[in-house]
Amino acid sequence: MRVSLQGVHKVYGKSRPTKVLDDVSLTIESGDFVAITGPSGSGKSSMLNLLGCLDVPTFGQVFFDQRDVSKASESVRERIRLQHIGFVFQNYQLLPGLTVRENVALPMQLAGVRRMERLARVQGLLSMIGLEKQADQRIIYLSGGQQQKVAVARALANLPGLLLADEPTGSLDGQSTLQVMEVIREVNRSRSVTTVLVTHDPQVAAYAQRVYRLESGSLDG
Ligand SMILES: Nc1ncnc2c1ncn2[C@@H]1O[C@H](COP(=O)(O)OP(=O)(O)OP(=O)(O)O)[C@@H](O)[C@H]1O
Ligand SMILES: [Mg+2]
C-alpha cells in the first residue's frame, strides 16, 4: 500500500491549541521501509497515528493508495485499520491471559476470517516468528522479546498492506531488538508490506531504506 501525507497540520486542543505537526508532506511507496526519528515530543507518534488512520489531520490530506481518508468517519477508519493496517507498539498491548495462538487469531476473528483459514494463517505466522512451541502458552509466561514477536505476528494477521511500529524495540534488550527487527525486515521484504517505524535507536533506524527526522513538528528527509 502507498501512503501519503500532503500538507498535514495537527493541532491538539481548542482552548489552548498546541501545534504538533506543521505542514508535513511525505509519500511512502508500496513496499518501502521508512524509519522516523526525532526528539521526544517532536510529533512522531502523532504522525504515526495519522498514517494509521487512528486520527485525522487538522488541515491537509492523508491518502491510502488513491483514497483520501482525511475526513473519513471513525467507523470507516476502523474498517480500514482492521483490513489494511497492522500496528506494533512499544508495550506490545497483547491480551496477557490469552495464549499466543489466541492473541494472533484475534484480529482475524474480528474481521470474520473463517476458522480453517485462521488456523492456517496462525500456523504460518508462528513459524515465521519461531514460536510454534509456545503456541499454547499464555502471554504472561513469555519474555519481552517473545511478546513483541507475537505482537508483530498479530499485526500481520489480516494480511495488511501497511505495518506501523511505534518504538517496537523500546523495551527490549540488544539481542531481542535484533531478533524483532529481523522479523520485521523479513516481513517487509517477503510480503512487500509497506513499513513505517518510529525509533530513537540508530541501530534500529538502520534497518530502513530511508530515515526521516521530525524536529518540532517539521520533517527532514
Ligand atoms: N491527544 C493529545 N492531546 C493534546 N496534546 C497531545 C496529544 N497527543 C500528543 N500531544 C502533544 O503533542 C506533542 C507531540 O506528541 P507525540 O506523542 O506525537 O510526540 P513523540 O515525538 O511521539 O514523543 P515521544 O518520543 O516522547 O514518544 C507533545 O507535546 C504532546 O504532549
Ligand atoms: Mg511517541
The reply to whether ligand 1 has any atom less than 6 angstroms from the CB of 90 is no
For ligand 2, a single-atom ion, which residues have Cβ within 5 Å?
A: 44-45
The reply to whether ligand 1 has any atom less than 6 angstroms from the CB of 44 is yes
The reply to whether ligand 1 has any atom less than 6 angstroms from the CB of 18 is yes
Query: How many Cα atoms within 13 Å fall on the side-chain side of residue 165?
Result: 35
Q: With helix as H, strand as E and coil as C, how does 62-83 read? A: EEECCEECCCCCHHHHHHHHHH
C-alpha cell at 34: 521508512
The reply to whether ligand 1 has any atom less than 6 angstroms from the CB of 199 is no
Q: What is the pLDDT of residues 136-173, one digit of tens each?
A: 999 999 999 999 999 999 999 999 999 999 999 999 99
Q: Of the residues 10, 14, 18, 201, which should be mutated to test ligand 1's pocket, given the most ligand atoms within 8 Å of the CB?
A: 18
What is the pairing mode between strands 194-198 and 33-37? parallel
Spell out, as residue ranges, where the chain has pLDDT lower than 50. none
pTM of the predicted model, to two decimals? 0.95
- Tell me, what's the pLDDT at 220? 85
- Tell me, what's the pLDDT at 205? 97
- Cα of 180 vs centre of ligand 2, distance in Å, is 19
Angle formed at CA 71 by CA 65 and CA 72, multiple of 5 degrees: 70
Q: Of the residues 44, 213, 215, which should be mutated to test ligand 1's pocket, given the most ligand atoms within 8 Å of the CB?
A: 44
Question: CA of 117: how far to CAs of 29, 99, 218, in Å?
Answer: 29, 19, 43
Q: Of the residues 8, 24, 46, 200, which should be mutated to test ligand 1's pocket, given the most ligand atoms within 8 Å of the CB?
A: 46
- Cα of 103 vs centre of ligand 2, distance in Å, is 24
* C-alpha to C-alpha distance for 55 and 73, rounded to whole angstroms: 10
What is the domain partition of the chain in residue ranges?
Answer: 3-220
The reply to whether ligand 1 has any atom less than 6 angstroms from the CB of 15 is no
Hey, is 126 helix, strand or coil?
A: helix
- Tell me, what's the pLDDT at 14? 87
* C-alpha to C-alpha distance for 74 and 65, rounded to whole angstroms: 19
Task: Report which protein residue has its CA nearest ligand 1's atom 16.
Answer: 43
- Cα of 12 vs centre of ligand 2, distance in Å, is 15
The reply to whether ligand 1 has any atom less than 6 angstroms from the CB of 20 is yes
Q: How many CB atoms lie within 10 A of CB 210?
A: 13
- Tell me, what's the pLDDT at 177? 94
- Tell me, what's the pLDDT at 92? 86
Assigned architecture for domain 3-220: 3-Layer(aba) Sandwich (3.40)
- Tell me, what's the pLDDT at 22? 97
Nearest one of 10, 22, 8 to 63, comparing CA atoms = 8
Nearest one of 37, 27, 41, 12 to 217, comparing CA atoms = 41
